[in-house]
């Protein structure tokens, strides 16, 4: 459970770092930054343990999951470039609903009524946060909401496939493939649109890789030890991190809607922890 909380904090911190870079680079190059810097850490970790590669039947699932993750981050990074951090995260938190539904269909999990109650509270909190944006008419922000919503759908598939593959492969191998495969898929299209990267941006790019590695290790460990449907509501704690980091890093003052949504999100997580 607490590993999932750590993962949420690491991923939101990574999102904030990406948002700081988004004014200078497009979504594709930001996605390359994410996987490229993550691959540096992943190769180092794998070299220490030298864990075996997946068996032949597992490679297809790794390729599918990597492709979906690449699409997920590309969509989400574009959303971060036009939305406030907390708003993008709130829209992304429709994903746990899809995760629980897919876990029922693919993994044959049967969430209890407590899990559904926690999901409902979290979704209500995310809906309250999104309501002001749904009333805006600006096309860029509406497009950002759409991209964030589509990212939530593809992320749900990524999480369910991660739960499935985490039972077969070791964590260093998982981390390695999670970064190297999407990077290879992006190499050719990104090369045609590449913008020069000044040395001043390299520390931020390295931080992105470090935070992504911490988050992936934490969530993969959590998925090894807990059902995906029970972990889904814990993802909502990331919204609290998003509100705090958005205020400190970008001056995005949380609105009353943000505060009200936080109450629902915390209630859902406390309900799950009590269960």
Q: What pLDDT, in 10s, does the model give residues 77-128? A: 999 998 889 888 888 877 777 777 777 777 777 777 777 888 888 888 888 8
Q: Following DSSP, what letter does each residue of 76-120 receive, concatenated?
A: HHHHHHHS-HHHHHHHHTTHHHHHHHHHHHHS-----HHHHHHHH
Task: List C-alpha distances in Å: 55 to 60, 67, 168, 169, 170.
Answer: 10, 19, 9, 9, 12
pLDDT, tens digit (0-9, with 9 covering 90-100), for 3-41: 888 999 999 999 999 999 999 999 999 999 999 999 999
CA–CA distance, 185 with 163 (Å, rounded to integer): 23
Q: What is the pTM of this model?
A: 0.86
* Model pLDDT for residues 42-54, shown as the tens digit of each residue: 999 999 999 999 9
Domain borders along the chain are 2-274
């Amino acid at each position: 459970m607490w590993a999932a909380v750590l993962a949420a904090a690491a991923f939101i911190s990574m999102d904030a770092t990406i948002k700081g870079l988004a004014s200078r680079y497009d979504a594709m190059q930001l996605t390359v930054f994410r996987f490229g810097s993550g691959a540096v850490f992943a190769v180092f970790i794998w070299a220490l343990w030298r864990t075996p590669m997946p068996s032949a039947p597992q490679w297809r699932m790794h390729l599918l999951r990597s492709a979906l993750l690449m699409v997920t981050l590309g969509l989400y990074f574009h959303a971060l470039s036009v939305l406030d951090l907390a708003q993008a995260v709130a829209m992304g938190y429709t994903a746990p609903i899809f995760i629980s539904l897919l876990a029922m269909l693919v993994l044959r999990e049967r969430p209890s009524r407590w899990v559904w109650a926690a999901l409902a509270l979290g979704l209500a909190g995310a809906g309250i946060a999104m309501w002001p944006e749904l009333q805006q008419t600006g096309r860029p922000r509406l497009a950002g909401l759409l991209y964030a919503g589509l990212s939530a759908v593809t992320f749900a598939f990524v999480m369910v496939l991660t739960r499935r593959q985490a039972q077969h492969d070791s964590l260093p191998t998982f981390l390695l493939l999670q970064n190297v495969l999407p990077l290879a898929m992006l190499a050719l299209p990104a090369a045609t649109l590449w913008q020069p990267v000044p040395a001043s941006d390299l520390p931020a790019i390295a931080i992105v890789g470090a935070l992504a590695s911490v988050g992936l290790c934490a969530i993969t460990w959590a998925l090894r030890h807990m059902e995906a449907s029970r972990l889904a509501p814990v993802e909502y704690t990331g919204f609290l991190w998003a509100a705090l980091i958005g205020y400190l890093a970008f001056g995005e003052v949380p609105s009353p809607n943000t505060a009200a949504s936080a109450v629902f999100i915390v209630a859902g997580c406390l309900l799950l922890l009590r269960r």
